[in-house]
């Protein structure tokens, strides 16, 4: 069954740099500045935050992609030139607020990556819970070459996906990684042929949306937080979270269905 998407209405349909479509439980948000390679301006950051704060109540999963040949060229560099230090801090904090809303918002998020996934584009990709890369995707952090530093939460999120050492290499030397390399070290979850990223992400979205909402919530909200805790604190939170998930009716019904032989077994893919 494929997801058929229709343009969002109301606030979500009115955003000028973000095209939002909805298909049942799936919301697809597409960065829509292809002439600027989807570079993230102040306005686009605001629109990303607005969209994720205002997802429909019945949304169960979101897919984020970029229009054109590139996912995202990072920060709109036109906006760096005029900033003083205080403005720079405020600017970075706006990105943090918007990007936290993606990672710690109400639904799992899947990013579709092609072409440039660079600078703030990689920071944006790192907020997603799953990443699907087309073979054209390439990953870089040109901040080092531009005389700046990551400011969109990359220092906190990217090392957790690829390690401090790889990120250091990218920033000090301008090293660029391919989609296959990124898959090899766990930055991306799936690599697919050119033009097939969105279809793959929508297929994954359907699977994710069919899970019990509380399980998805535990995975997206508890798991990254537990990873930041001491093992002892993490195990305590794990016990609470697993008891909450198990206590939910959806869990009871799903476990009962398996025991009654009405649910699918786990199979090798």
Catalytic residue among 123, 180, 183, 194: 123
Q: How far is the CB of 70 from ligand 1HE (least distance, A)?
A: 5
Q: Which is nearer to ligand 1HE, 92 or 221 (CB)?
A: 92
Q: How far is the CB of 119 from ligand 1HE (least distance, A)?
A: 2
Q: Which is nearer to ligand 1HE, 175 or 254 (CB)?
A: 175
| Residue 123 annotated in active site | yes
Q: Which is nearer to ligand 1HE, 37 or 60 (CB)?
A: 37
Q: How far is the CB of 15 from ligand 1HE (least distance, A)?
A: 19
Q: Which is nearer to ligand 1HE, 108 or 119 (CB)?
A: 119
Binding interface with ligand 1HE (CB under 6 A): 36-37, 39, 70, 73-78, 92, 95, 116, 118-120, 142-143, 146, 148, 150-152
Beta bridge partners of 133: 113, 191
Q: Which is nearer to ligand 1HE, 158 or 241 (CB)?
A: 158
Structure tokens at 112: 């579709």
Q: How far is the CB of 124 from ligand 1HE (least distance, A)?
A: 9
Q: How far is the CB of 149 from ligand 1HE (least distance, A)?
A: 8
Catalytic residue among 21, 79, 82, 143: 143
| Residue 134 annotated in active site | no
Active site residues: 123, 143
């Amino acid at each position: 069954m494929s997801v058929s998407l229709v343009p969002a209405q109301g606030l979500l349909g009115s955003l000028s740099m973000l095209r939002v479509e909805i298909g049942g439980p799936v919301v697809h948000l597409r960065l829509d500045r292809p002439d600027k390679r989807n570079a993230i301006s102040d306005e686009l950051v605001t629109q990303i935050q607005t969209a994720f704060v205002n997802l429909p109540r019945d949304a169960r999963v979101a897919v984020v992609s970029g229009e054109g040949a590139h996912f995202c060229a990072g920060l709109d560099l036109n906006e760096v030139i005029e900033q003083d230090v205080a403005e720079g801090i405020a600017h970075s904090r706006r990105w943090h607020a918007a990007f936290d809303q993606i990672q710690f918002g109400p639904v799992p998020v899947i990013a579709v990556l092609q072409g440039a996934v660079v600078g703030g584009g990689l920071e944006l990709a790192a907020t997603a819970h799953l990443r699907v890369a087309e073979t054209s995707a390439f990953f870089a952090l040109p901040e080092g070459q531009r005389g700046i530093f990551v400011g969109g939460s990359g220092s906190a999120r990217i090392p957790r996906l690829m390690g401090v050492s790889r990120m250091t290499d990218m920033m000090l030397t301008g090293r660029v990684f391919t989609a296959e390399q990124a898959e090899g070290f766990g930055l991306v979850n799936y690599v697919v042929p050119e033009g097939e990223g969105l279809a793959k992400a929508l297929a994954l979205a359907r699977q994710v949306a069919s899970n019990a909402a509380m399980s998805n919530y535990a995975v997206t909200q508890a798991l990254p937080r537990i990873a930041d805790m001491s093992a002892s604190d993490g195990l305590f939170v794990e016990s609470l979270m697993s008891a909450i998930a198990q206590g939910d009716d959806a869990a009871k019904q799903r476990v009962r269905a398996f025991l009654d032989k009405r649910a699918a077994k786990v199979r090798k893919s």
